[in-house]
Amino acid sequence: MLRPSTSLPRRGQGPLWRNPTVRALIVQAVLFLILAGFIGYLVHNTLNNLESRGIQTGFGFLEGRAGFSIPQTLIDYTSDSSYGTTFVVGLLNTLLVSALGIVAATLIGFAVGIARLSTNWLLARLATIYVEIFRNIPLLVQILFWYYAVLRALPSPRDSMSLFDLFFFNVRGVVMPDPQPLPGFSATLWALLIAVVATLLFARFAKRRQMATGQALPVYWIGAAIVIGLPLIVFLASGAPLAWTLPELRGFNFRGGINILPELVALWLALSIYTAAFIAEIVRSGILSVSHGQTEAARSLSLPGGITLRKIVIPQAMRVIVPQMTSQYLNLIKNSSLATAIGYPDLVAVFAGTTLNQTGQAIEIIAMTMAVYLVISLTVSFLMNLYNARTLLKER
Amino acid sequence: MRHKNKSLSLLSAAALTALATSQAQAATLDNVKSNGEFKCGVSTGLTGFSSPDENGKWTGIDVEVCRAVAAAVLGDPTKVVFSPLTAKERFTALQSGEIDVLSRNTTWTATRDNSLGLNFTGVNFYDGQGFLVRKDLGIKSAKELDGASICVQAGTTTELNMADYFKANDMKFQQVAFDTSDQTAQGFDSGRCDVLTSDSSQLAALRLQLADPSSVEILPERISKEPLGPVVRQGDDQWFDIVKWTLFAMLDAEELGVTSQNVDQMRDNPPNPDIARLLGKDGNYGEQMGISNDWAYNIVKMVGNYGEVFDRTVGKDSPMGLERGINALWNQGGIQYAPPIR
């Protein structure tokens, strides 16, 4: 028991164990040893158990032939590829749906969040209904809804709905023409790169000019004109070097063209719409956190509503919005593992699913999968923190 | 709706924890006896093999194997706790000790037997992989399936066989893999795939679950050997022997003409020494395995012989109505053959 004392013993006096610093060190060292011993025991015991049960361990299995097929692969993959390749294929599919989901969720979320604060009664109510419906239904149910209820209502390949005979919509997904670059197409890509760099430089110039003279230039319009116009001119001037492989109905399915799987669309829709409901609330709370005096000040300077929102309210709201958005992005990435419910070949379905089952290397595969999600999430956190540091209030 | 996806990770986590904390346990039999029941892994629902009926009672040929083990070991076929598992979860559940026997239409393969720390105890159903297609496609052979979208259950030998078959025949296909056989059937039913592939017995079962069973047909090709049987953990030979001989006893009983109807009469007046040994009137074949000598009597009395079980779950007395085919006894044109009890 500690007794209140008016004077603590000075350091170096009295027995060592009564010294608070030493005592704290000893307690921490003992705790650390217990923890390390416990973890060591678990690892030792796991290896022992694996060996006594004749379960093979190690990462040698990654070199073995996978022998199964994956419907959507962003890199070359056949059933002759290795289990290691299935890891990469699954990872890329996870990243694809996560990236698509983050972009769409952000756009929808901002739109709905701002709409909820609109003075238009109907718009604000619709936004409220959106948020309350989609954030209160479990994500898995929403995924299954989009997959089974909506996409399955589409016709069979033979009765596909078509758009200009180029795009086809059916129960197998969307089929569209596949662009094949011919020699000379690289010029267009270079033009695009140059246009993007030029736009960025122009934006910096415009900003500096505005700072100096107070005159604003239409950066967005000019930028858009450069980014779209320059590559287009180069593309046409070089003789449109792009061949299109058109989808064609042969046998069971369309051959040629790009096929977007309905599993991807369903998962993407569900993830975006679900996460957007949360982002909308974050955006709303961010905007409400900006003092109303700021808006009034802008209005008294007769700034239009759009500019007030874009240049005054949102930049200040970002300080509140960004840290919470990071959590939502991380949630979206982790939620993408629900893909396995509808057969979208993501990391969990392919690698922690089929590969795990074919090889039986549960510990290695689950450890790798957990490590991947950890790395992705930490990377996203890091990038968002960088961005957050930039959006912090700069006092001048 | 069936939400099995999360359970995979939960189960894997459970497996990691279990492997990390439990000492390797050799004596499954002692555990089962002291618990008074044992845990059996079955499918999440496959008619004829393991599926819950409208009263929630598990039925099927795989389920009966578990009941027979319970009858042999505990003298009561109801002392089984059934764990429904997806194809992806099943081995981890057995390795980690969540279940004591896996009886879930599982194909016996070299990898599974040799590298997963598991042992297959025998074959309770000889199967082969086939293809189910809609009749209106007008397809008569699997060789015509080039370019088709094919629904398959993830994590099965079926996935591998299909890739091999299409590669060998220089054909392309698009695979759609689902977690459970119900989801797979739903995927096929809704037109996501042209073809459903699985073991042919499962196709017969899944066909019954479709909206209109007469609109589909099973193609004649069998592209693989699928010997399905119960699995136990490696390293516990006693338990391995018990599960193995449970199946043998059911086969021997059928061969000797012992049924659940006449087993009492046969035990009181054994017509021949083989039956006397089977039913525990002669010798101590049960005690050799650490269980009571009337183990086989209990199996036949409480569950039935192999033929009875086959007929009532997948055979002529069931909705599936499968022929015995190669699952007939060796002396009746099939390949089911059990070593003698002596």
CATH number for the domain including B175? 3.40.190.10
Are A354 and A370 found together in one domain?
yes
Are A308 and A346 found together in one domain?
yes
Q: Which residues of A touch B234 (CB under 8 A)?
A: 53-54
Shortest Cα distance, chain B CAs vs residue A279, angstroms: 25
* pLDDT beneath 50, residues of chain B: 1-11, 23-25
Are A159 and A224 found together in one domain?
no
Q: Which residues of B touch A48 (CB under 8 A)?
A: 24
Q: Which of B24, B95, B174 sits opposite A253 (nearest CB)?
A: B174
pLDDT at A396: 59
Residue B50 CB contacts under 8 Å (≥ 6 apart), including other chains: B42, B43, B58, B59, B60, B62, B63, B82, B84, B103, B104, B105
pLDDT at A165: 72
Are B196 and B245 found together in one domain?
no
pLDDT at A284: 92
Q: Which residues of A touch B146 (CB under 8 A)?
A: 251
Please identify among residues 167-226 of chain A the ones whose CB lies closer than 8 Å to any CB of chain B. 171-172
Q: Which of B5, B173, B235 sits opposite A340 (nearest CB)?
A: B5
Query: Which residue, B174, B193, B224, sits at the end of a domain?
Result: B224
A345 touches chain B (CB under 8 A): yes
Q: Which CATH number is A362's domain given?
A: 1.10.3720.10
Domain count, chain B: 2
- CA angle at B218 for the pair B216 and B222, rounded to the nearest 5°: 165
Are B245 and B113 found together in one domain?
yes
Residue A239 has pLDDT above 90, yes or no: no
Shortest Cα distance, chain B CAs vs residue A249, angstroms: 11
pLDDT confidence of A12, banded at 50, 70, 90? low
Please check whether residue B49 is in contact with residue B60, taking contact to mean a CB–CB distance below 8 angstroms: yes
Shortest Cα distance, chain B CAs vs residue A9, angstroms: 46
Query: Which residue, B174, B206, B224, sits at the end of a domain?
Result: B224
A356 touches chain B (CB under 8 A): yes
Residue A1 has pLDDT above 60, yes or no: no
Greater confidence, A36 or A4?
A: A36
Q: Which of A54, A360, A363 sits opposite B235 (nearest CB)?
A: A54
Please identify among residues 59-78 of chain A the ones whose CB lies closer than 8 Å to any CB of chain B. 67-71
Residue A329 has pLDDT above 80, yes or no: yes
The position carrying tokens 């002596």 is B342
Kindly state whether residue B75 falls inside one of the protein's structural domains. Answer: yes
Are A119 and A232 found together in one domain?
no
Are A166 and A210 found together in one domain?
no
pLDDT at B3: 43
Q: Which of B1, B154, B234 sits opposite A54 (nearest CB)?
A: B234
pLDDT confidence of A161, banded at 50, 70, 90? confident
Least confident of A98-107, A221-230, B233-242: A221-230
pTM higher than the cut 0.90: no
A353 touches chain B (CB under 8 A): yes
Taking CB atoms and an 8 Å limit, are B12 and A352 in contact across chains? Answer: yes
Q: What is the mean pLDDT of chain A?
A: 84
Taking CB atoms and an 8 Å limit, are A68 and B175 in contact across chains? Answer: yes
Kindly state whether residue A259 falls inside one of the protein's structural domains. Answer: no
pLDDT at A13: 64
Are B104 and B242 found together in one domain?
yes
pLDDT at A220: 79
A352 touches chain B (CB under 8 A): yes
Are B90 and B233 found together in one domain?
yes
Kindly state whether residue A260 falls inside one of the protein's structural domains. Answer: no
pLDDT at A166: 73
Are A209 and A98 found together in one domain?
no
Kindly state whether residue A292 falls inside one of the protein's structural domains. Answer: yes
Are A288 and A362 found together in one domain?
yes
| CA distance to A79, B4, B259, B287, per residue, from B338 (Å) | 38, 37, 16, 20
Token duo for residue A366: 């689950």
Kindly state whether residue B103 falls inside one of the protein's structural domains. Answer: yes
* Interface mutation vs chain A, best among B89, B129, B160, most A CBs within 10 Å: B160
The position carrying tokens 């990236």 is A99
Kindly state whether residue B205 falls inside one of the protein's structural domains. Answer: yes
Shortest Cα distance, chain B CAs vs residue A368, angstroms: 13
Shortest Cα distance, chain A CAs vs residue B254, angstroms: 35
Q: Residue B158's domain spans which residues? A: 130-224
Q: Which of B147, B186, B192 sits opposite A252 (nearest CB)?
A: B147
Query: Which residue, B184, B209, B224, sits at the end of a domain?
Result: B224
Q: Which of B3, B149, B167 sits opposite A341 (nearest CB)?
A: B3
Are B113 and B247 found together in one domain?
yes
Q: Which residues of A touch B19 (CB under 8 A)?
A: 45-46, 49-50, 363
Phi-psi region of A353 (alpha: psi -120 to 50; beta: other; left: phi over 0): alpha
Are A279 and A303 found together in one domain?
yes
Please check whether residue A144 is in contact with residue A341, taking contact to mean a CB–CB distance below 8 angstroms: yes
Are A277 and A140 found together in one domain?
yes
pLDDT tens digits, A127-151: 999 999 999 999 999 998 988 877 7
pLDDT at A353: 84
Q: Residue A202's domain spans which residues? A: 181-245
Are B18 and B104 found together in one domain?
yes
Are A90 and A234 found together in one domain?
no
